[in-house]
Amino acid sequence: MSKALHPLAVALNTELSAKKSTLLDFLSKRGKRTYFPSKGILGQSAEAKDTEINATIGTAFEEDGSPLCLESAEALINMPSTAFLYTPSFGLPQIRTQWLQMMLEKNPGLKEKTFSLPVVTHALTHGLSVAGFLFLDANDTIILPDLYWDNYALMFEDAYGAKLQTFPMFDKKGAFNVKAMQEKLLAPGDKKIVILNFPNNPTGYTATNEDARAIQKTVLKAAKAGKKVTVLLDDAYFGLVYEKGVCTESLFGALCDLHRNILAVKLDGPTKEDYVWGIRVGFITFGCKGATPAQYKALEAKAAGVVRGSISNCSSLGQHLLLKTYTHPDYAKQKQSKFSILKRRYERIKAILAAHPEYAQSFVAMPCNSGYFMCIKPIIDPETLRKHLLATKKTGVIVLSGLVRIAFSAVPYAKLDALFANIHDAVQELTNKRK
């Protein structure tokens, strides 16, 4: 017999099902069991925060009440020593509010809509794992394009026992294959979980404005058919769009208040879009039509409970560093400068391919309009090509899903011509060798 639910979990579940809400239906068995331990050590410490003598906190302080830190460590950062202290499992209130404000600025379509306050995770990968904990049961099916980040399998299949069910990412015209996604969504079964990753890893493709409208329409159709649809939005490369007509906002805005049977879960963070890969700070945000502020707080508490039960809390130093970065007077200018570097490389790749029609004899470039990556489909075995590039051209690429992924984000502008020349030459060498 399974252990009875903790009273705090029961209280959160009761809130999530109040006013005939469907929110509780989206949660996994683990998600229904989880809670934030507000009555334990954390709750008692909070009650004692204004006391004259506070013997509740598991940190150490100097005689004057300042954090007890090594001087050698403190000298390395230009921040107060409080940056060495624990943060709440929900994240620093200041960074949560800051990220919310930035979300609104970057996604004008979110204005006038309601959704939760972001909860801090240990970067986006951990955020996806938190979502898996909350919403995935063993043998659940996750619908996603066949071109996806391979870490999804490690997280969702190996860790949570779910099954990845793919559909072809592109249709015959090179657009996002909404029709194939719709077939999966409308198939038998009421619980539907979808992962959408734009800009996509590995392809560097982002839904066009037309794609985005079609995706919204399709998800709504499934919801109206009685499906409970959880849409996990992996926005790791958000904002890195290089072409007109491509959707510049997260699909979270189009889905977060679309229907009571749709739960939109936004996973994002500064890792890629602010070029701080080692900071390891991310966010998880929830949106569902009709959800009340109290219900959003319940979802936040569930997420914070998963954080508390796995890593306790996220990097205080990382959150403080980001706060200083986002309030720097040159933040926007500096970010635009880095974006321009990536866009310039993307445009150079387009020019290279246009100037070398003979490259089509060796590979086909897959649709790409954004992000850090692009993919090519070589006329020979991709793994054989990868090894030949390493052995003879001192050139490294990644093979995923039968394609070659090229991280142009990591290649200097001046080496892009040589990169594609090396790939073409390698394919031709291997092709001629087989004759």
Dist CA 416 CA 129 (whole Å) = 35
CATH of the domain at 374: 3.90.1150.10
Domain end (from 269, 293, 326)? 326
Residue 426 maps to a domain: yes
Q: Read off the tokens for 327.
A: 């309030």
Dist CA 242 CA 339 (whole Å) = 9
CATH of the domain at 102: 3.40.640.10
Using 50, 70 and 90 to split pLDDT, how confident is the model at 1? very low
Do residues 381 and 420 share a domain?
yes
Dist CA 227 CA 219 (whole Å) = 9
Dist CA 219 CA 231 (whole Å) = 9
- Three-state DSSP at 176 gives strand
Do residues 125 and 234 share a domain?
yes
Look at residues 428, 160, 119, 422 and name the one whose alpha carbon lies nearest to residue 267: 119
Residue 78 maps to a domain: no
Give tens-digit pLDDT for 314-350.
999 999 999 999 999 999 999 999 999 999 999 999 9
Please determine, for residue 178, whether its predicted confidence score (pLDDT) is greater than 50: yes
The model's pTM is 0.95
Question: How does strand 403-407 pair with strand 398-400?
Answer: antiparallel
Residue 43 maps to a domain: no
Dist CA 363 CA 403 (whole Å) = 10
Do residues 341 and 322 share a domain?
no
Dist CA 336 CA 328 (whole Å) = 14
Do residues 307 and 380 share a domain?
no
Domain that holds residue 351: 331-434
Using 50, 70 and 90 to split pLDDT, how confident is the model at 435? low
Do residues 202 and 278 share a domain?
yes
Q: Give, in order, the Cα–Cα distances in Å from 422 to each of 348, 350, 402, 429.
A: 16, 16, 19, 10
Domain end (from 304, 326, 348)? 326
Do residues 292 and 349 share a domain?
no
Using 50, 70 and 90 to split pLDDT, how confident is the model at 47? confident
Do residues 272 and 371 share a domain?
no
Burial 54-75 (b: 16+ CB within 10 A, else e): eeeeeeeeeeeeeeebeeeeee
Please determine, for residue 432, whether its predicted confidence score (pLDDT) is greater than 60: yes
Residue 57 maps to a domain: no
